[in-house]
């Protein structure tokens, strides 16, 4: 279970996606990109823009049934990608590697990339930007909401009433 939290802002996510695209540029051009839903959708869009890639496919892998981890299954297949040859897989994070293994098996000839990689999943990715400790839970911008926080002076004056 994760004991540390790391918050990724929209700006940081965008910078990391552009950095990954810069790393991937010499490997292209790619025939297309396969985003792993849902976390890979936004990074894939940014990377597709940077690499001038118009074909974006997605793959959806479900590993949970209610709250229990079950056998992973593909619920949306990336038909246009074939066996992955010439395609780039994009995800936000490779954690335990369960989803990555399923995607790798389905698209064995694709290049696998993600923004963030934990130790357990790192061997399954070809390219990533930041290594994250296994016990860290990443809070992505789509998982959080900015909230108004009153200035300390206002908070202290309300506390004294």
Q: pTM (2 decimals)?
A: 0.86
Per-chain mean pLDDT for the chain? 91
Query: Contacts from 152-155 at CB under 8 Å and sequence distance 24+?
Result: none
Active site residues: 91-92, 95
Query: Up-side HSE of residue 128: CA atoms within 13 Å toward CB?
Result: 20
For residue range 37-91, what is the model confidence (pLDDT) as tens digits?
A: 999 999 999 999 999 999 999 999 998 665 566 788 999 999 999 999 999 999 9
Decide if pLDDT at 3 tops 90.
no
- The pLDDT score that the predictor gives to residue 66 is 57
On whether the CB atoms of residues 127 and 89 are closer than 8 A, the answer is no
Q: What are the structural domains of the chain?
A: 4-159 (3.40.50.2020)
Confidence (pLDDT) at 70: 73
């Amino acid at each position: 279970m994760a004991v540390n939290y790391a918050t990724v802002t929209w700006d940081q996510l965008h910078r990391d996606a552009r950095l990954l695209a810069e790393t991937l540029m010499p490997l292209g051009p790619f025939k297309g990109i396969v985003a792993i839903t849902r976390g890979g959708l936004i990074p894939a869009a940014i990377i597709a823009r940077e690499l001038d890639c118009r074909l974006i496919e997605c793959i959806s892998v479900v590993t949970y049934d209610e709250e229990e981890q079950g056998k992973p299954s593909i619920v949306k297949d990336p038909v246009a990608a074939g066996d992955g040859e010439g395609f780039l897989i994009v995800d936000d994070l490779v954690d335990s590697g369960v989803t990555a293994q399923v995607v790798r098996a389905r698209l064995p000839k694709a290049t696998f990339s993600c923004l963030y990689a934990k130790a357990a999943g790192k061997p399954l990715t070809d390219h990533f930007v930041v290594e994250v400790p296994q016990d860290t839970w990443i809070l992505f911008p789509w998982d959080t909401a900015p909230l108004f926080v009153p200035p300390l002076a206002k908070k202290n004056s309300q506390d004294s009433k």
